[in-house]
Amino acid sequence: MISIYLCDDDDAVRHQIQTALEWKIFVENYDMKVICSAASAQELLDAVEQGGQGVYFLDVELKDGEWDGFRLGRELRRRDPRSTLVYITSYGDLAWRTFQYHLEAFDYIVKGAEPIGPPAARCLDEIHARLLAERQAPTEMFTLRTGDIVRHVPLRDILFFET
């Protein structure tokens, strides 16, 4: 099961995102669960210590003295290097900071005129598809070197070998 964590200091936004994610998980029958919906970074970090690889929906600007979403993302990356980070914020012009902190964010959703739940649910679709693709067996390849050129050909595409 994939654990989903949510951290936003705005109760209404957090509830809207959680409801949309839980509905999407129910409708699509994903092997996922919202484990924690926290208002503070410390509350989220306390819950993460009990879990494994996760998907994190984080607000950029938390009303927390020492934590913001980017610092929280860095700490989550330290604890869970294979985690998936999705940022949700009112500040569309701060997306570049995910690169500054080397966070490798999966998505950066800007709160705007439309409700925030549907974009978060669509994001969950893509995350689920990628996680399924990761679990598939790797394709066996035949590697051929000719001079300086190296070619990799899937074995399923080869009908026969001839000398």
Tokens in use for 38?
């926290």
What does the alpha-carbon distance between residue 36 and residue 4 come to, in Å, rounded to a whole number? 7
Q: Give tens-digit pLDDT for 3-35.
A: 999 998 888 888 999 999 999 999 999 989 999
Contact criterion met (CB below 8 Å) for 56 and 7: yes
Buried b (16+ CB within 10 A) or exposed e, 72-107: bbeebbeebeebbbbbbbeeeebeebbeeeebebbb
Q: Render each residue's pLDDT in the chain as its tens digit; 163 residues.
A: 889 999 988 888 889 999 999 999 999 999 899 999 998 888 888 888 655 678 999 988 888 778 888 888 888 888 888 889 998 887 766 666 666 666 788 888 887 767 777 888 888 899 888 888 777 767 788 888 888 888 888 888 889 888 8
Task: List, in order, residues 6 or more apart from 158 with CB less than 8 Å away.
Answer: 142
Instruction: Report whether 9 contacts 59 (CB < 8 A).
Output: yes
pLDDT at 157: 87
- CB of 133 closer than 8 Å to CB of 35: no
pTM for this entry = 0.76
pLDDT at 92: 67
Q: Please, what's the largest Cα pairwise distance for the chain?
A: 70
Residues in contact with 82: Cβ distance below 8 Å, sequence separation at least 6, in sequence order? 53
Residue 37, strand partner residues = 6
Among 32, 26, 24, 27, residue whose Cα is nearest residue 5: 32
Q: Would you state the structure tokens that stand for residue 157, as one six-digit string?
A: 């595409």
**Alpha carbons 129 and 105: distance in angstroms, whole number:** 17
Task: Return the pLDDT at 59.
Answer: 87
